């Protein structure tokens, strides 16, 4: 029997009592709901959902990767950058393999969030631990990613990982990953950046030529920082500061606000603003100062710049609760299965974030963080808060821009804005989702349009949660396997 996991009908915004959660997988949503039911808050739900994603979506994220979070609490928005740096002694970098591995940051991010949780880190990880112990069914998307990366994974030490051979629909048990999650649950940071896990990580990386040492793992891999904020359509949009490229979204919104554009220009101007801001990607370290840049675009003709790149990965989680907290997040290992380097005793792959280094201000240096694609956003305004994120690498800025232009600038409901057809600029082409009302106009403007099937993964998958007044809500995109739930 053929089952279609997607829906072409706009998903409703769900109203909750205790809280709400939206995530890249239904089991992640279930974990978040359970925490809310058991007395946890939005932060407990966030970590529980992220932990489940490390079990069910190892191609997109994992303990060897990153987490970026925007958290509103008591009316203030904080950014947590959970992305580690290059080894202090590194002399060279690569885009894959051991030399591409940066210090993993997701677990350090969880330890920074733990004091803000009602139930604590240990309880938040229990759902994920059970799934890893008992097994989860491998969906066709994960199996396809595994097949595409199989030779790289085997070269990276994953030959005996059960995922390598399991068929779609079969159950995958990951006892080693469960054991690692248990160590984190009981020992916190020390259960990951010390002990057996750290020893295996350093041994495997050293054998591959990496210069990572205990000193690198002892340094904080996550930090609490201040978001970049921009006023937009009577709201304030908060984005991640460097090393995230979230400031590119803020630049687009600021330029739209200053440009007196019309709703009829949304698609063309949105594309051109995207192309204009990605010219500043290697200068992301400037952060909020980038908002002073004047973006020159042609309102009628396509510039045909190369612009954003074509790869995509990542998984989103957004949560809220009735006590005034909302959180937007993304977790990732960068490319599919990251570096391809697998830790057999610990049960996870390591990131290849070193592939994010480029040139200029984003050139490689020891102890430095590359620019990250992870760019969640948190919108505050008169009626409440919305935490929002999407996977899709360089498509993240583009998908969020389109939703915000439809929702905030043009007055469309958030539900309809998320469901609407999208475009994505990549490598000089403009993918346009079938059914997009501006397709013909974009072609006449001179864009290299490529009509693309509705629901194609490259158009992202929005997760959103927040509060309307005092009511927690969540909604999910119809694209991919995103889901939403409330408690």
Confidence grade of residue 8 (pLDDT, cut at 50, 70, 90) = low
Confidence grade of residue 1 (pLDDT, cut at 50, 70, 90) = very low
175 beta partners: none
332 beta partners: 66
pLDDT of residue 153: 97
- Backbone φ and ψ for 112, nearest 5 degrees, come out as -70, -30
Which domain, by its residues, includes 59?
45-66+86-224+338-362
Q: What does DSSP say about strands 235-239 and 228-232: parallel, antiparallel, or unpaired?
A: antiparallel
Which helix (H) or strand (E) segment is 148 a member of?
Answer: helix 140-155
DSSP E strands: which ranges in 251-325? 315-321
Residue 158 maps to a domain: yes
Residue 333 maps to a domain: no
Decide: residue 83, CB within 10 A, 0-12 exposed, 13-18 middle, 19+ buried.
buried
Interval 339-354 mean pLDDT:
98
pLDDT of residue 356: 95
Interval 215-239 mean pLDDT:
97
pLDDT over 90 percentage in the chain: 95
- Is residue 20's pLDDT more than 50? yes
- Is residue 397's pLDDT more than 90? yes
Residue 153 maps to a domain: yes
Tokens 């821009």 -> residue: 401
Instruction: For residue 343, give the nearest of 180, 173, 139 by alpha carbon.
Output: 180
Interval 44-52 mean pLDDT:
99
Cα–Cα dist 38/366, whole Å: 44
Asked if 363 and 218 touch (Cβ cutoff 8 Å), the reply is no
Residue 450 maps to a domain: no
User: DSSP labels for 314-355?
Assistant: -EEEEEEETTS-EEEEEEE-SSTTTTS-EETTTTEEBP-GGG
Cα–Cα dist 478/482, whole Å: 7
The C-alpha angle 131, 136, 141, rounded to 5 degrees, equals 130
pLDDT tens per residue across span 61-87 = 999 999 999 999 999 999 999 999 999
483 beta partners: 23
- Is residue 361's pLDDT more than 70? yes
Confidence grade of residue 307 (pLDDT, cut at 50, 70, 90) = confident
Asked if 41 and 323 touch (Cβ cutoff 8 Å), the reply is yes
Tokens 């090393």 -> residue: 243
- Is residue 458's pLDDT more than 60? yes
- Is residue 24's pLDDT more than 60? yes
Asked if 101 and 335 touch (Cβ cutoff 8 Å), the reply is no
Cα–Cα dist 425/427, whole Å: 7
Count up the domains in the chain and report the number: 1
Instruction: For residue 391, give the nearest of 424, 364, 369 by alpha carbon.
Output: 424
pLDDT of residue 2: 42
459 three-class SS? helix
Residue 137 maps to a domain: yes
Decide: residue 474, CB within 10 A, 0-12 exposed, 13-18 middle, 19+ buried.
buried
Alpha carbon distances (Å) from 214 to 40, 175, 180, 409: 34, 26, 18, 49
- Is residue 7's pLDDT more than 70? no
Confidence grade of residue 309 (pLDDT, cut at 50, 70, 90) = confident
Residue 348 maps to a domain: yes
Residue 209 maps to a domain: yes
Tokens 């994220």 -> residue: 61
- Is residue 3's pLDDT more than 50? no
Cα–Cα dist 402/253, whole Å: 10
Cα–Cα dist 418/475, whole Å: 9
**Token couple for 134:** 């008992």
Residue 387 maps to a domain: no
| Biggest CA-to-CA distance, the chain | 61
Asked if 342 and 73 touch (Cβ cutoff 8 Å), the reply is no
Cα–Cα dist 325/212, whole Å: 37
Interval 104-133 mean pLDDT:
98
Decide: residue 192, CB within 10 A, 0-12 exposed, 13-18 middle, 19+ buried.
buried
Cα–Cα dist 142/57, whole Å: 7
């Amino acid at each position: 029997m053929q089952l279609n996991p997607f829906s072409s009908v706009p998903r409703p915004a769900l109203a909750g009592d205790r809280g709400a959660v939206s995530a890249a997988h239904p089991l992640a949503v279930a974990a978040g709901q359970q925490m809310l039911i058991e007395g946890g808050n939005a932060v407990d739900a966030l970590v529980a959902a992220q932990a489940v994603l490390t079990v069910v979506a190892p191609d997109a994220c994992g303990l060897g990767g990153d987490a970026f979070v925007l958290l509103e609490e008591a009316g203030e928005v904080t950014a947590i950058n959970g992305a580690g740096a290059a080894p202090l002694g590194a002399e060279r970098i690569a885009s894959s393999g051991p030399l591409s591995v940066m210090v993993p940051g997701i677990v350090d991010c969880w330890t920074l969030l733990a004091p803000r949780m009602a139930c604590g880190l240990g309880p938040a990880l229990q759902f994920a631990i059970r799934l890893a112990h008992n097994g989860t069914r491998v969906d066709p998307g994960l199996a396809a990613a595994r097949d595409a990366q199989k030779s790289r994974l085997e070269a990276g030490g994953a030959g005996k990982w059960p995922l390598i051979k399991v068929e779609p629909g079969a159950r995958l048990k990951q006892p080693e990953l469960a054991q690692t999650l248990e160590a984190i649950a009981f020992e916190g940071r020390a259960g990951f950046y010390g002990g057996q896990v750290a020893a295996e990580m350093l041994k495997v990386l050293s054998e591959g030529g990496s210069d990572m040492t205990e000193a690198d793992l002892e340094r904080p891999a996550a930090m609490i920082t201040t978001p970049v904020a921009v006023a937009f359509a009577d709201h304030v949009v908060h984005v991640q500061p460097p090393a995230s490229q979230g400031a590119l979204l803020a630049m687009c919104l600021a330029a739209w606000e200053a440009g007196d554009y019309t709703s009829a220009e949304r698609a063309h101007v949105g594309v051109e603003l995207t192309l204009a801001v990605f010219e500043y990607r290697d200068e992301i370290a400037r952060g909020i100062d980038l908002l002073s840049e004047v973006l020159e675009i042609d309102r009628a003709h396509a510039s045909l710049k190369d612009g954003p790149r074509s790869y995509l990965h990542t998984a989103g989680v957004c949560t809220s609760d009735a006590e005034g907290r909302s959180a937007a997040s993304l977790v990732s290992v960068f490319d599919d299965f990251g570096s391809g380097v697998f830790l057999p005793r610990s049960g996870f792959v390591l990131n290849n974030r070193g592939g994010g280094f480029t040139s200029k201000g984003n050139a490689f240096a020891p102890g430095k963080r590359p620019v990250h694609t992870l760019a969640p956003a948190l919108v505050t305004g008169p009626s409440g808060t919305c935490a929002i994120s999407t996977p899709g690498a360089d498509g993240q800025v583009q998908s969020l821009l389109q939703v915000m232009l439809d929702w905030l600038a043009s007055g469309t409901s958030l539900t309809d804005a998320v469901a609407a057809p999208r475009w994505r600029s990549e490598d000089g082409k403009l993918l346009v989702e079938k059914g997009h009302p501006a397709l013909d106009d974009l072609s006449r403007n001179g864009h290299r349009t490529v009509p693309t099937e509705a629901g194609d993964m490259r158009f992202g998958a929005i997760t959103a949660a927040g509060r309307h007044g005092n009511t927690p809500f969540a909604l999910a995109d119809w694209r991919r396997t995103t889901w939403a739930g409330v408690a």
